[in-house]
A and B are shown apart, each in its own frame.
Chain A
Amino acid sequence: MNKKTFVHPYIPNSAPEVKAAMMEAVGISDLEDLYSEIPEHLRFQGELDLPEPMMAEYELRRHLEETLAKNVTCKDHLSFLGGGCWQHYVPAVVDEIVNRAEFVTAYCGGTYADLGKFQARFEFYSMLAEMLDVDAVSEPIYDWGAAAGMSIRMASRLTGRNEVLIPENVSPERMAQIRTLCQPEIMPNSIKITLAGIDKATGGVDIEKLKNKLSENVAAVYFEVPGFFGNVEKNAREISLLAKSVGAQSVVGVDPVSLGVIAPPASYGADIICGDLQSIGMHMLCGGGQSGFIAFRDEAPYLAECPLAIYTIAETAVPGQYAYAEVLPERTSYEARDKAKDWVGTASGLWTIGAAVYMALMGPQGMREIGETILYNSNYAKQLIGEIKGVKVLFDTSFKEFVANFDDTGKTVAEINKALEGKKIFGGLDLSADFPSLGNSALFCVTEIHTKQDIDKLAAALKEVLK
C-alpha cells in the first residue's frame, strides 16, 4: 500500500490536501517530526505485525459476522444456565433507548450539556430506591462482585473493624472478587473473610454457626437474597439483628428482578445493599451486561464512605426545573487520589439507563408479575426434575434457580450436559468443582422466558439421558 495515499473514513485529516495544509500550519515537513520529543532509542523501529486492513466496511462486517456465526447461542439452544448472568426478556423500548447515539456516545459531559443523561440517571436511582426501599443509591460499578467487595470495605471503614462473615452460598465468581478486594491479610487495610456455614436443608445461613463466629471484630455479615443456589433466606431478619447485636453492618446482595415478590432488604434490616442490574433490562452479552450497584440509608456516614459518585437533584433559577450535582465529591478518587475511599472510574453507566427504562415500563404490577412467573416456572422445573429417578433437588425454597444432585444417577454433570447439548439444550451450571460438598450437582436457571414446553422438554431430555 502506498503510505502517502492512506485515507481512512474515520480520519478526515488523512486526506492529502488537508493534511499538507495542516503540516504547513504546524511547520513540519514530515509527520515523524511531530515526535521529536521521543528519543530514537524509544521509537518503535519495526512494522506492527497486524493483518492487512479491511477498509471496506462491508468486508469487515462480513468477517465479524462470519466469525460470530461460529458461536451457538442461547437462542439456538434451549438454555438453563444462570449463576449471575441470566437470560431474561429485554423489552424492545429498552433496546431502542440504550442504542440512542446520544447515550451510547456520551461521557462525563457537563450537568447542562448532558442534562438528559443526568435526569435519566437520577430516575434510575429513584426507581431502584423504590424497589429496595432505601433513600440513597450510588453510581454503578463493574458488577455485583465489585459492588459486594466495595460494600464490605465500606462496612469495614464505618465500623473500624476488619472481619467479614460470609456464608458459602455465594457465587464463586463473586467470592473470588471479594477475596481480591479484601485480601491478603498482610496488607494493612485487609479484611479477614470467615465462612459462616450453611444449613443443609435450606441452603441458607446456619444461624448457630453464625452466632459462634460473631464477635466485636466483625465489621459485616454479608449474605444474599436469593442465594447463589436460588434459595430464599428465611432468617434474613434474624441475621441482620445478629449482625447489629455485635455492632456489625448487615450487607445484603440482591437480584433486583426478585423484588416484586421478595421483601425489600431494608425491611429485614439491611444497612448496605448491593447487586447486579443485568436481570432488569440487559442482554447477557456473554457476561458483558453486568452492572453493580450500592445503596444505603440516606445518612451522611454512609455517603461519606461510599467510593462511587452520588448525585443530588438541585433546583435552578426556574421553578420546577432541575439540574444535578455531585454529592461530597472530595471523597472520591477523582479528587482525593490515594486518600480517597477506594476508587471510582468508568464502569457500566449505560446499563443504568437500560434499567431505568425497564423499571419505568414494568411498573409495580410488572415487577410483581415477572416475580410470580419466575417463581412458578422455576419451582415447576424443580418439581419435575426432582421426580426423575436418581435425581434429588436440594434446598426447600427457590427463586429462579435451584440445585439438582445427580449422585445416584451414575453420571457426572459433565456427561449429562454433554448429552443434553446433543439435544440442543444447555443444562445447568456444573457445581461439582466449586462446591464439592454438594456432590455431583448442577444449578438450573429458569426465568420468565421459559415456557412450560421448554421445561417439559428439559425434563424429558434428562430422563432419556439418565435412562
Chain B
Amino acid sequence: MKDVRLRKYHSAAWDEPLVMEMGTKGERGIIPPKAAKEVAEKLGDALDLLPAGMRREKSMNLPEISQYHVLQHYLRLSQMTLGMDLGSDIGEGTCTMKYSPKMHEQVVNSSKFADLHPKQPAETLQGILEIVYGLEQYLKQISGMSKFTFQPGGGSHATYTNACLIRKYHEARGELATRDEVITTIFSHPCDGATPATAGFKVITLMPDENGYPDLEALKAIVSERTAGIMFTNPEDTGIFNPKVAEYVKVVHDAGGLCFYDQANANGIMGMARAFDAGFDACHFNLHKTFSSPHGCEGPAAGAYGVREELGKYLPAPTVEFDGTRYYLDYDRPESIGKVRSFLGNLECVIKAYAWIRSMGAEGIKTAAQISVLNNNYLDKLLLNIKGVTRPYAEGKRRLEQARYSLGDVKEATGVGTAEIRNRFSDFGIQGYWMSHHPWIVPEPFTPEPCETYSREDLDYWAAALEQCVKEAYEDPEFVMNAPHAMGNTKILDDSLAEDPDRWACTYRAYKKKSK
C-alpha cells in the first residue's frame, strides 16, 4: 500500500432550516395552468363540481416559498448528502455500489421514454419493449434460466414474487395444505425470511456450521413433506462461496421443494457460475446493484426475477413477447401468480441495465466480476493487517466480492464499537460502512464490497481511513465515541426517543405538538 494522505474533509454544513419554516404567506413557487375562461364560465364554481361534504375546507399548511428559494433549499440538502458519486461507497457491502453511467440517466430522462404511458398500444411502445425483451435474453444467458419478469420493484420484492411462485406451484399440485415451510439461512438477506412469511409460510432459518456455511446436516434433518422450498444466497453476506451448494439444492428437491437463488450478491460470479447450473429453479438479480442502475435514495429499483422453463407459466402478467416481427404484451396467463406491481415495473432501471450489459459484452461482464473479486481480495489483505480487525469463519479460504469482518476485539479493548467507528469513518469523506443485517452473528461487524468501480487508490484510502479510526479508538476512545466531527451535524442527543411515543415525531406537525 502506498502512503495515503487522508483528506482534511468537512461535509457541507448549510445549517439549513426545515422547509416548513421557510417563506412568507403569499409567496409562490410555481403557478399551475388555469382552465380556459370559457370552460370556467360554462361550469361555474369548480368546487361545486364536488359532492357537498367532500370539498376541502381545512387549509393546508404547506410552506409558501418563491421558486429560487425552493431550488436553493434542495440544492443545499443535496450538497449535504454524500451519495455514491462523491463519497466512494466501498463500505456498503451487499449493495454493490457501482458507478451508474451518466449517459444512461440522460437517455432515460429523454421524452422518448419519460413521456410513455404503460397502457399505450403495444405498436407505439416497440422501442421500450425491444429493450425489455433484450435484457431478458441477456439475463437468461447470465443465469441459465428460461424466462424473466421485471415487475418487482426491488430485490425484496423479487424474493416476495418467488415466495408467491412457490405458493402457486404447490397450490397447482394440490400440496399447499401440507407444504407450509420455507427454509432460509441466517447469512442470507432478511427478506429471504420475511417475504415467505408474508406469503403465509412458516420459516426455518439455518445457522452456519463451524466453517461459516449453512449447516448441510441440519438441512437434511429439517426437510420433509412439509418443505415448500428454500431461499438463500451464495456467496452469503460473508463473501464465502458454498462449494456444496448443489447438494443443498438436491436435498430440497428430493423433499419436493423448490430452490430459489437470491442473487443480490451476484457481482463477483457473473459469467463465472450460473444459478441454473447449480440446479436452482429460480433466481433474481438487483438491476440497481449488479447491473448499474443507481440506488436513488433507496429506489426506484428493480428485481429481475427468472425461472426455469416449466415455471414460466406462473410469472406475473403481462410478459413481453416477440413474434419475430413485433413485440407484444401477453396478458393471457391463466396460471400466473397475478401481479406484484402495477404496469410493467420500473423500466427506467431496465433500460440502464440493458445499456450496461451492451457496454460490457460477455468479456466485460466476466472482467467486472473478476476485478470485483480481485479488489476484494486486495482490500482483504490490507484490512487484516489492521490491529483489532478479524474475519471470522473459513480461515484460509478466499472471499469473493465482499467479506464480513469483526471489530469485536477493538470493542473489547477500548469500548468503541462498530457503530461509533462508522460515525467517525465519514469524517474522511467516504460513506459510513454497512455493518450487517440482523442478528449480528459476527460481533461488531462491518461488510465492505469494493466492486470493480474502485481504483487501487480508493481501496488504499478506505483501508487507511479504517486504520486511522481504529488507532484513534485505542488512543482516544472518547474522541471516536463523540464522532462525527466533520459532518454538517453533531451527534443525536438521546436516541431513546425512537422508542418513545411521547417524544418521537415523524412529521413537523407532530414535532410542533410534542415539543410544546
CB A24 to nearest CB in B, in angstroms, measures: 10
Taken together as a complex, chains A and B put the C-alpha atoms of A385 and B116 apart, in Å, by: 25
Listed stretches A42-50, A212-220, A404-412; interface member: A42-50
Listed stretches A193-201, A244-252, A316-324, A457-465; interface member: A316-324
CB A163 to nearest CB in B, in angstroms, measures: 16
Question: Is B77 an interface residue, CB under 8 A from the partner?
Answer: yes
Interface string of A318-360 (1 = CB under 8 A from B): 1001110111110001111111101111111111110011011
| A317 and B490 within 8 A (CB) | yes
Taken together as a complex, chains A and B put the C-alpha atoms of A318 and B485 apart, in Å, by: 13
Contact of A97 among B61, B78, B98, B296 (CB under 8 A): B78
Taken together as a complex, chains A and B put the C-alpha atoms of A366 and B46 apart, in Å, by: 15
Taken together as a complex, chains A and B put the C-alpha atoms of A77 and B60 apart, in Å, by: 36
Interface string of B186-204 (1 = CB under 8 A from A): 0000110111111111010
**Quick one: given A70-B127, A267-B58, A286-B113, are A346 and B50 in contact (CB under 8 Å)?**
no
Tell me the number of A-to-B contacts counted with CB atoms below 8 Å.
743
Residues of chain B with a CB closer than 8 A to A71's CB = 112-113, 116, 124-128
Taken together as a complex, chains A and B put the C-alpha atoms of A55 and B53 apart, in Å, by: 61
| A343 and B347 within 8 A (CB) | no
| A6 and B364 within 8 A (CB) | yes
**Quick one: given A173-B342, A347-B154, are A81 and B119 in contact (CB under 8 Å)?**
yes
Question: Is B121 an interface residue, CB under 8 A from the partner?
Answer: yes
Taken together as a complex, chains A and B put the C-alpha atoms of A36 and B397 apart, in Å, by: 9
| A342 and B498 within 8 A (CB) | no
Residues of chain B with a CB closer than 8 A to A267's CB = 57-58
Chain B contact-residue range equals: 35 or more
**Quick one: given A68-B110, A285-B116, A365-B64, are A347 and B35 in contact (CB under 8 Å)?**
no
| A110 and B422 within 8 A (CB) | yes
**Quick one: given A102-B86, A376-B39, are A337 and B205 in contact (CB under 8 Å)?**
yes
Listed stretches B22-30, B217-225, B251-259, B470-478; interface member: B22-30
Question: Is B272 an interface residue, CB under 8 A from the partner?
Answer: yes
Residues of chain B with a CB closer than 8 A to A85's CB = 117-119, 342-343
| A363 and B509 within 8 A (CB) | no
| A53 and B364 within 8 A (CB) | yes
Residues of chain A with a CB closer than 8 A to B111's CB = 73, 75
Residues of chain B with a CB closer than 8 A to A432's CB = none
| A421 and B121 within 8 A (CB) | yes
**Quick one: given A117-B81, A313-B511, are A369 and B34 in contact (CB under 8 Å)?**
yes
Contact of B54 among A57, A105, A225, A313 (CB under 8 A): A225
| B361 and A343 within 8 A (CB) | no
Residue of A nearest to B108 (CB): A285
Of residues 346 to 384 in B, which have CB atoms within 8 Å of A's CB atoms? Answer: 346-349, 351, 355, 357-368, 370-371, 373-375, 377-378, 381
**Quick one: given A261-B47, A340-B194, are A35 and B359 in contact (CB under 8 Å)?**
no
Of residues 91 to 124 in A, which have CB atoms within 8 Å of B's CB atoms? Answer: 91, 93, 95-97, 99-117, 119-123
| B431 and A237 within 8 A (CB) | no
Taken together as a complex, chains A and B put the C-alpha atoms of A285 and B349 apart, in Å, by: 10
| B54 and A42 within 8 A (CB) | no
Interface string of A74-90 (1 = CB under 8 A from B): 11010101011101010
Taken together as a complex, chains A and B put the C-alpha atoms of A188 and B39 apart, in Å, by: 54
Taken together as a complex, chains A and B put the C-alpha atoms of A31 and B377 apart, in Å, by: 11
Question: Is B309 an interface residue, CB under 8 A from the partner?
Answer: no
Of residues 119 to 140 in B, which have CB atoms within 8 Å of A's CB atoms? Answer: 119-121, 124-128, 130-131, 138
Question: Is B445 an interface residue, CB under 8 A from the partner?
Answer: no
| A315 and B493 within 8 A (CB) | yes
Taken together as a complex, chains A and B put the C-alpha atoms of A93 and B346 apart, in Å, by: 23
Question: Is A14 an interface residue, CB under 8 A from the partner?
Answer: yes
| A232 and B51 within 8 A (CB) | yes
Taken together as a complex, chains A and B put the C-alpha atoms of A402 and B53 apart, in Å, by: 21
Residues of chain A with a CB closer than 8 A to B487's CB = 112-113, 115
Residue of A nearest to B38 (CB): A452
| A346 and B60 within 8 A (CB) | no
Interface string of B62-78 (1 = CB under 8 A from A): 11110100110111111
Taken together as a complex, chains A and B put the C-alpha atoms of A20 and B364 apart, in Å, by: 18
Residues of chain A with a CB closer than 8 A to B456's CB = 12-13, 18, 21-22
| A13 and B32 within 8 A (CB) | no
Question: Is B386 an interface residue, CB under 8 A from the partner?
Answer: no
Residues of chain B with a CB closer than 8 A to A43's CB = 272-273
Among the interface residues B19, B73, B157, which one has the most CB atoms of the partner chain A within 10 A?
B19
**Quick one: given A123-B19, A328-B499, A334-B190, are A51 and B60 in contact (CB under 8 Å)?**
no
CB A150 to nearest CB in B, in angstroms, measures: 9
Taken together as a complex, chains A and B put the C-alpha atoms of A38 and B373 apart, in Å, by: 13
Question: Is A177 an interface residue, CB under 8 A from the partner?
Answer: yes
| A338 and B358 within 8 A (CB) | no
Residue of A nearest to B27 (CB): A363
Question: Is B345 an interface residue, CB under 8 A from the partner?
Answer: yes
Taken together as a complex, chains A and B put the C-alpha atoms of A31 and B372 apart, in Å, by: 11
Taken together as a complex, chains A and B put the C-alpha atoms of A267 and B381 apart, in Å, by: 61
| A38 and B243 within 8 A (CB) | yes
| B95 and A108 within 8 A (CB) | yes
Of residues 240 to 272 in A, which have CB atoms within 8 Å of B's CB atoms? Answer: 259-264, 267-268
Of residues 494 to 515 in B, which have CB atoms within 8 Å of A's CB atoms? Answer: 494-495, 497-499, 501, 504-511, 513
Question: Is B403 an interface residue, CB under 8 A from the partner?
Answer: no
Contact of A356 among B19, B109, B493 (CB under 8 A): B19
Residues of chain A with a CB closer than 8 A to B43's CB = 376, 379-380, 383
| B81 and A102 within 8 A (CB) | yes
Of residues 126 to 141 in A, which have CB atoms within 8 Å of B's CB atoms? Answer: 126-127, 129-131, 133, 135-137, 139-141
Residues of chain A with a CB closer than 8 A to B30's CB = 91, 93, 361-362, 366
Question: Is B323 an interface residue, CB under 8 A from the partner?
Answer: no
Residues of chain A with a CB closer than 8 A to B100's CB = 104-105
| A119 and B80 within 8 A (CB) | yes
Contact of A110 among B40, B127, B360, B426 (CB under 8 A): B426
Interface string of A46-68 (1 = CB under 8 A from B): 01111111110100110111011
Taken together as a complex, chains A and B put the C-alpha atoms of A380 and B37 apart, in Å, by: 12
Taken together as a complex, chains A and B put the C-alpha atoms of A291 and B342 apart, in Å, by: 10
Residue of B nearest to A429 (CB): B119
Contact of A63 among B201, B358, B400 (CB under 8 A): B358
| A102 and B117 within 8 A (CB) | no
**Quick one: given A55-B359, A91-B30, A338-B193, are A10 and B101 in contact (CB under 8 Å)?**
yes
Residues of chain B with a CB closer than 8 A to A286's CB = 113, 116-118, 125, 128, 343-344, 347
Among the interface residues B194, B205, B246, B346, which one has the most CB atoms of the partner chain A within 10 A?
B194
| B296 and A104 within 8 A (CB) | yes
Question: Is B271 an interface residue, CB under 8 A from the partner?
Answer: yes
| 17 additional contacts (CB under 8 A) given A105-B296, A133-B58 | A22-B378, A28-B377, A44-B277, A60-B355, A73-B116, A89-B32, A112-B432, A125-B506, A145-B341, A186-B171, A263-B56, A290-B341, A316-B491, A317-B491, A343-B156, A362-B62, A372-B34
List 27 contacting pairs A-B, 8 Å CB cutoff, sorted by A.
A10-B101, A67-B130, A68-B128, A77-B124, A97-B78, A102-B81, A103-B296, A105-B85, A116-B76, A123-B508, A133-B58, A143-B342, A153-B198, A177-B340, A236-B54, A262-B55, A287-B342, A299-B501, A338-B193, A346-B299, A350-B296, A352-B297, A364-B60, A367-B60, A372-B34, A376-B46, A376-B49
